[in-house]
Structure 1
């Protein structure tokens, strides 16, 4: 028989928590501390509220940030009333997690470079832990040794990135601008791939339609002039005078040779010489089609287009031919967006361009994340073009589209 204490209680039986006491969240905390110690931590999400109160915490997310050159953990706590952020040290993160898990929230999802871990609070009983293969990998700037080798590396001062506020003068990327830093480098990777399709000697002539703040225009200039030491003639075009003035100021401040900004519309711009690379990034709705049409008329070597909002096909697509997709508003809108880009890609193939549709940037930063990259072919046969015509017209028939803006813009420019 088991021995009993003087009080008559069996010492082998765990005492029940009393007066609000609870066993510490040893499992989650040990996993969290271990991931930080081993430098495998990526992200932590606490969810599943244990209270239905309106002011109760509904979710906590934790991610790595760089603050003043130090690694911190951004703690974002959300309730129905508000969301608050604060940057914590490792010890503060551990303390905050202990105070919330099992008190306010009952589920934890810990993402590391080694595994995805799900921990569930079990009201004083052993916590339930599930382990799955990792689904995420570290991003540049998140305090890990494994870093992607970018065309513009972090840690080395880059004048145009400093000027536009992406980098600090030391070369450190601002934590809030890492998404833009990655986007710029991703864009340059696409350009790097098509450099063999551009003239190998002489200036490279580029037109950037709807250049906006010109982050990517300056990035392209940096790639061609600083990295590849090429002469360029880059024209940034936009309809907003204040945007053109600001871009011109930045270009003058950086002493960028071969880049200028003009106030004007895509469909009326007339280049002074052959355009080798035509770029259209996030031009709204049919403005993307106007840019593609202009590049086709100029017989540009390469066309890069990242479409933005798209409404035309959504308004004209037949409800009868695709009833399962078009009777629900949000599904129709998303389908029409993909259908528009498919039509653009097929139309470009029909015009003698080898075309790819690629992911531009992660969807967590923007849903407008497709890039259409087209390279002019010199080997397209009549048989190839006939097959492309059949595929293009077949897609139009399925969608119930008779004609659309890109076709009209190419055949009847304004």
Structure 2
């Protein structure tokens, strides 16, 4: 390529390098191909290690110096195609003596561009996390086998995590004006939802995001770190600790909790309230706290049946949680998360912050406390 073309390449590479620096958590790498006659000369740049593999050599080159290296090399060849590989998006610079241009391609379109045909499994519904598009993710969290087949014993889990995304999708749109959405997963366990939401928010909704997972189990925390590294999800951190001890070093926008047992759900909800999170998504697990507290003489003939008292306690617990969230200024909906045939613990509490405090909701909560002689843990944990 001539000198004028090489100068254009250097100029356009400047914009690509700036994007790579600003979005380093989401950059997978940079690769390029020079062509001369019928021969190709390929290079791959590791942005984390500042290492370029080119023509059989490993070269230590800083990201900012890569621009000069490529533009200087361009004069030896007929054409160049360079790709900045970002999660959910690829920026392509193509150049020859006729033209130098940049185009952005979403991941779905890139598959067509690369003529890479993929097959998925149709399970009779339109999935948000699609087999074929999200295979790396689904393999890493154990939903798919290494050859891309859906595991029979993970079909239920796959349906659950996808339906969770479906139920909160519209809430994510509330964060259009946010530069980065910060998500805290309380009692994250195996972190299925954290990894899935990371993929969905960044690669499908095209929003920058950062995830923090907290759990008291060192085993699950180390495993989550391993999966994040395998996927190249650099916008994640996992902490072994009790949620009560956590002090964030950044704004917390969304708090999620999946099947946190008994008052662990209250701790998650309370943490969200105390951190003034804009949105909360919690699927409670077992309920024990209020079962031994409930006293209501008018229902004595019903409560004498232990199973009925336990079920009433479950409903009251989640109803009280919703009411306290309303008192803290959240708009709350409680919906069925999955079929009760799969598990009776099948409710999803969704909450969106809309005001500072609701005095009427607080009064209703106080009335219910007196009526059923209860003292819920959530009230003691939160600052309202």
Aligned to 1:400: 373
Provide Cα deviations, 1:115-173, integer angstroms capped at 9, x if missing partner. Answer: xxxxxxxxxxxxxxxxxxxxxxxxxxxx9x88211111235552121112211345432
Q: CA RMSD in A?
A: 2.0
Aligned to 1:369: 346
Answer yes or no: is 1:246 the counterpart of 2:218.
Answer: no
Aligned to 2:36: none
| 1:316 counterpart SS class | coil
Aligned residues: 264
Aligned to 1:308: 285
* Matches of 1:329 and 1:405, distance apart in 2: 22
* Matches of 2:131 and 2:226, distance apart in 1: 25
Bigger drift between 145-154 and 175-184 goes to: 145-154
* Matches of 1:265 and 1:198, distance apart in 2: 28
1:351-390 matches, within 5 Å, as 351-378=328-355, 385-390=358-363
Answer yes or no: is 1:409 the counterpart of 2:381.
Answer: yes
Unaligned segments of structure 2, at least 5 residues: 1-120
* Matches of 1:321 and 1:285, distance apart in 2: 26
* Matches of 2:144 and 2:123, distance apart in 1: 20
2:154 to 149, 174, 177: 177
Question: Structure 1 224/329 Cα, relative in aligned 2: closer, same or farther at 3 Å?
Answer: same
Question: Structure 1 155/322 Cα, relative in aligned 2: closer, same or farther at 3 Å?
Answer: same
* Matches of 1:268 and 1:324, distance apart in 2: 43
* Matches of 1:171 and 1:247, distance apart in 2: 21
8 Å Cα contact 1:319/1:327 also seen in 2: no
Provide Cα deviations, 1:195-232, integer angstroms capped at 9, x if missing partner. Answer: 12225331111110000011111111111112122221
1:125-144 matches, within 5 Å, as none
Answer yes or no: is 1:346 the counterpart of 2:323.
Answer: yes
* Matches of 1:199 and 1:274, distance apart in 2: 16
8 Å Cα contact 2:302/2:308 also seen in 1: yes
| Higher Rg | 1
| 2:282 counterpart SS class | strand
2:254 to 273, 277, 280: 277
2:169 to 188, 192, 205: 192
8 Å Cα contact 1:198/1:204 also seen in 2: yes
Aligned to 1:210: 187
8 Å Cα contact 2:274/2:383 also seen in 1: no
Deviation at 1:321? 4.2
Deviation at 1:392? 1.9
* Matches of 1:257 and 1:192, distance apart in 2: 23
Provide Cα deviations, 1:238-261, integer angstroms capped at 9, x if missing partner. Answer: 000011011101111111120111
* Matches of 1:266 and 1:348, distance apart in 2: 19
Deviation at 1:324? 3.0
Deviation at 1:353? 0.3
Deviation at 1:400? 2.4
* Matches of 2:196 and 2:184, distance apart in 1: 14
| 2:177 counterpart SS class | coil
* Matches of 1:176 and 1:155, distance apart in 2: 19
Unaligned segments of structure 1, at least 5 residues: 1-142
* Matches of 2:302 and 2:184, distance apart in 1: 37
1:159 to 120, 125, 136: 136
| 1:256 counterpart SS class | coil
TM-score (norm: length of structure 2): 0.65
Provide Cα deviations, 1:11-68, integer angstroms capped at 9, x if missing partner. Answer: xxxxxxxxxxxxxxxxxxxxxxxxxxxxxxxxxxxxxxxxxxxxxxxxxxxxxxxxxx
Aligned to 2:17: none
